[in-house]
């Protein structure tokens, strides 16, 4: 499943292709792909302008400009000033790769398109309406029901590509979004596990998945990260994989960051000192940033918004290297299971406490 770096890379690649484009039509080729309010999806998406593209955890988000609002006139890929400025900070080097944010500030600009998408802090998720807390977004169920976000979860095999009008949908194309420039956005998903859904303030307040998402690892401060595990029962890798504890981390980046932090994946989280957890946070941030700079990791199905494979898999130190020599000590890497996931680690370099 694509993890945080892969979804971030896809969002950054789609942003210049979609921002400011009007969705003129929607063709649903597999009804099960549309979750939530299917009637609202069919009624509210056509005609809306995409004001920005971002991410929350592993969920890709497209911001929909208000119908009839100042952004609703479209106006080409540049979009509004706010949407144009969302993808890059003011101090981005002129020679920086266009789709790879060079630092944490720009990463957040990528994810927080026009300042209206979901944010997070140490306390938990922030809904688009501006409220915080893992206990849920504000706007009670009776709040604004006009969808302002289009969420896409890629799951195992989902892909999002923009194609010219000459390209026909294929067997695995589940939803087609027609754009005002003649191009089309395809959501392809071979295994049909992925989904799309519209999100209003009321949806964000009642959708358990959204309400329970933990903080973003690239935004939370190290001491607050350490506090997430204070007194927690459970193995550290299992908690890293738990999206209600920290959002966006999967098997690859849990293994890689734990190796760099010299912590065994099966170590009890509550027995790790705050200092060691702060070290883990630093390595986790480094691993995520390095992967984003490499456009993610391609193991099987993942491709970015341009159809290209990522390259971070060429830098794996433990993931997928079971039985091979440890890059640090030369001893054979061990394999186990944590939270039902295959786990590779070095018994010599990584410690339980």
269-314 pLDDT tens trace: 999 999 999 999 999 999 999 898 887 765 555 454 555 555 566 6
Active-site residue list: 2-3, 58, 341
Predicted TM-score of the model (pTM): 0.78
61-111 pLDDT tens trace: 999 999 876 554 444 433 333 333 333 333 333 333 333 333 333 444 434
Structure tokens at 20: 């400011």
For the stretch 329-336, contacts whose Cβ atoms lie closer than 8 Å and that sit 24 or more positions apart, written own/partner, are 336/265, 336/266
pLDDT of residue 265: 97
Which residue shows structure tokens 């306390």?
123
Give the closest residue to 125 by CA, choosing from 116, 114, 117, 137: 137
pLDDT of residue 218: 96
pLDDT of residue 112: 43
Which residue shows structure tokens 């001893």?
331
Give the closest residue to 60 by CA, choosing from 152, 128, 122: 152
Structure tokens at 330: 């030369």
Q: How do 23-28 and 173-179 pair as beta strands?
A: antiparallel
pLDDT of residue 37: 86
Residues of the chain falling short of pLDDT 50: 72-142, 302, 304
């Amino acid at each position: 499943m694509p993890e945080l770096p892969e979804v971030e890379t896809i969002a950054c690649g789609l942003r210049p292709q979609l921002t400011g484009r009007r969705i003129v039509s929607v063709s649903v080729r597999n009804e099960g792909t549309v979750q939530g309010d299917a009637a609202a999806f069919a009624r509210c998406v056509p005609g809306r302008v995409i004001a920005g593209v971002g991410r929350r955890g592993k969920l890709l988000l497209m911001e929909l400009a208000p119908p009839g609002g100042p952004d609703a006139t479209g106006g080409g890929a540049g979009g509004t000033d706010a949407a144009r400025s969302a993808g890059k900070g003011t101090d981005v080097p002129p020679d920086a790769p266009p789709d790879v944010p060079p630092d944490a500030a720009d990463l957040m600009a990528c994810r927080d398109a026009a300042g209206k998408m979901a944010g997070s802090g140490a306390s938990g998720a922030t809904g688009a309406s501006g409220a915080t807390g893992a206990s849920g977004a504000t706007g009670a169920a009776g709040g604004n029901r006009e969808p302002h976000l289009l969420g896409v979860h890629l799951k195992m095999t989902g892909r999002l590509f923009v194609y010219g009008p000459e390209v026909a949908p294929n067997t695995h194309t589940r939803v087609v979004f027609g754009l005002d420039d003649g191009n089309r956005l395809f959501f392809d998903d071979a295994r049909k596990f992925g989904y799309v859904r519209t999100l209003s303030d009321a949806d964000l307040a009642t959708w358990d998945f959204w309400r329970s998402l933990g903080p973003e690892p690239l935004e939370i401060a190290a001491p607050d990260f350490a506090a997430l595990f204070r007194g927690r029962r459970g193995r550290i890798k299992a908690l890293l994989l738990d999206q209600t504890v920290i959002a966006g981390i999967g098997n690859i980046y849990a293994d890689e960051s734990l190796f760099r932090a010299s912590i065994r994946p099966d170590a009890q989280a509550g027995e790790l000192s705050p200092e060691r957890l702060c070290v883990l946070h630093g390595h986790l941030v480094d691993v995520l940033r390095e992967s984003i700079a490499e456009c993610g990791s391609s193991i099987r199905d993942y491709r970015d918004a341009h159809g290209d494979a990522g390259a971070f898999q060429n830098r794996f130190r433990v993931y997928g290297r079971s039985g091979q020599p440890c890059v640090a000590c030369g001893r054979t890497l061990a394999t186990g299971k944590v939270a039902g996931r295959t786990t590779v680690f070095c018994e010599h370099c990584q410690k339980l406490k």
